[in-house]
Structure 1
Amino acid sequence: MVAERESVVGGGAVGTACALDLTVDAHVHTGFSAGRDAVGVVVSAADRAGLTALTFADQAGPDTTWLTAYADAVRRARHRTEMTLRVAAEVEVVRADGWLALPPDLAQLDALSVAVSGLPAGGELLGPREVRARLDAGVLTPGQVAEALVAATVKGLERASRYVPAQLARPLALLGQAGVDDSAVTPALVAELAAACRITGAVVEVSEAWRSPSARVVEMLLDAAVTVVPASDARYAAEVGRWQYLRRV
């Protein structure tokens, strides 16, 4: 299928324009983990959506045993499509120092998609409800939450990039889940995140499913010359390469 090339233009480096290529989907799931459909079904759906590149990023961790079968399934699918297919795994930052819950074998992977679903704080990993409770109790402020989240994200990207190319999954989504206003993410914090992305070569996913990061943060990242890519975070094949939030961004 020959697709008409689509893009959404956003702010770029000073004096330039930068576009999000909507024929690329940088984060999809399959039945190996958080998704519902087989690799081949997802690839067929991506072909119908007119995509040119697809990154599989199923959730993996220390107990994952299926990476070889997963990578083999993607490699077989490469023979049936003209799309570029990449094998990645979504991994979690689990400590403030950026420690990652890595699977035992990274040799199968083209990339690591780094997610921060919990806030590392005092030796604990706080979910959105716990963060909200501490905000309501006055134990944490929105600014402190944003600072801690960005710090853990930066360290996670630094650690991931030692192994394979890194990309950042659903950036800062934890803030919205915990009810923290986007204004807590100051330009200085975005600059810190952008610098880490440039140094590590990490790309930033703009997640359709998680509506994250905000258009404001995307614009600042683009202005800081960070590579930004569309990511459906699709769990069903029918969601692959389907954009609503991305078009608004």
Structure 2
Amino acid sequence: MIDLSADGHVHTAFSSGRDSVSVLVAAAEQAGLAELTFADRVGPDTSWLPPYLSSIQRAQQRTDVVLRRGVEVEAIGIDGWLAFPADLGGLEVISVGLNRLPLPAGLLTPDAVRAQIDAGAMRALDVIDQVVTVTGLAVERVSRYAPTRLARPLDFLIRAGIEEQAVPDSAVAELVEACRANGTVVEISERHRLPGLRLALACAEQGVRLAAASDAVRSGEVGHYRYVREIATALEEESVAA
């Protein structure tokens, strides 16, 4: 159910990573990968997309590993609007991330949301509902432009102090349906150990494709999976049991 010969999310030195495109490609070759997707974080002020895409294209000429030109974009609007760069040309895949919670009054960090919940000013269930709603709108919007992936599902909730177990089944079903309806691939993040088995199972049951993602920021992390393998094994066991 999860292709472990691919790494669906790595970061280069163009953004939050430590190594160049060519170093990451060499690491992918050493790990025996068949496919590598670059997913550096971008925003409206990103000015390095042309050299980034050119670096990937040049690297492709020197390797048999299939290289996917991708970026990660943050959802920033209650309507699912994202912090798009000026030009989406040349991209093969876009990962959707949620690092701040969009509300009518503005964007809140996970720490700010946690403080609001602790003070009784916000309810955890309302935060869950907003995260799921915005994420669903965001993947629908991105799917109009490029093949879409969901990065670190429910990560915002974890950082805001809301455990994944607290997410109602109805919210899980809503998120999975948004991904299914828009052809969105859900990443299984090694670095963030997300999503948990419940969401991964729900995706598999509804035909939502799952992708192994190291979320590597260093070359030594590319294609190295432990958590992803655990999820893959559990999914296989559940499939056999069914």
Q: TM-score, normalised by structure 2?
A: 0.93
Match among 104, 122, 126 for residue 140 of structure 1: 122
Partner of 1:95: 77
Offset at 1:128?
1.1
**Which residue pairs with 2:109 in the alignment?**
127
- Whether the 8 Å contact between 1:95 and 1:123 is mirrored in structure 2 is no
**Once the two structures are superposed, what CA deviation does each residue of 1:159-178 show, in whole Å capped at 9, x if it has no partner?**
11111111111111011111
Structure 1 residue 237 corresponds to structure 2 residue 224: no
The one of 151, 156, 163 aligned to 2:133: 151
With the length of structure 1 as denominator, give the TM-score of the two structures. Answer: 0.90
2:200 counterpart (212, 215, 218) = 218
For 1:109 and 1:185, the matched residues in 2 are separated by: 33
What CA deviation, in whole Å up to 9, does each residue of 1:174-229 have, x standing for no partner?
A: 11111102122222112211221122111011111111111211111111111110
Quick check: 1:67–1:108 contact (8 Å CA) kept in 2?
no
Name the one with the larger helix percent: 2
Confirm or deny: 8 A CA contact 1:194 1:224 kept in the other structure.
yes
Q: What amino acid is aligned across from residue 160 of structure 2 in structure 1?
A: A
- Are positions 1:167 and 2:149 aligned together? yes
Q: CA deviation at 1:37?
A: 0.5
Unaligned runs of 5+ in 2: 232-242
- Equivalent in 106, 109, 115 of residue 88 of structure 2: 106
- Residue type matched to 1:47 in 2? E
Superposed, 1:1-249 pairs within 5 Å as 19-249=1-231
Match of 1:4 in 2: none
**Aligned residue pairs: how many?**
231
Counterpart code for 1:95: G
Q: How far apart are the structure 1 equivalents of 2:18 and 2:160?
A: 27
Runs of 4+ aligned residues of structure 1 deviating over 6 Å after TM superposition are: none
After superposition, the CA RMSD in angstroms is 1.0
5+ long unaligned stretches in structure 1: 1-18
- 1:96 deviates by 1.1
Indicate conservation of the 8 Å contact 1:190/1:221, yes or no.
no
Between the aligned partners of 1:144 and 1:234, the Cα distance in structure 2 is 32
Q: Percent identity?
A: 47
Instruction: State whether residues 58 and 89 of structure 1, in contact with CA within 8 Å, keep that contact through their aligned partners in structure 2.
Output: yes
Report if aligned partners of 2:154, 2:164 keep a CA contact under 8 Å in 1.
no
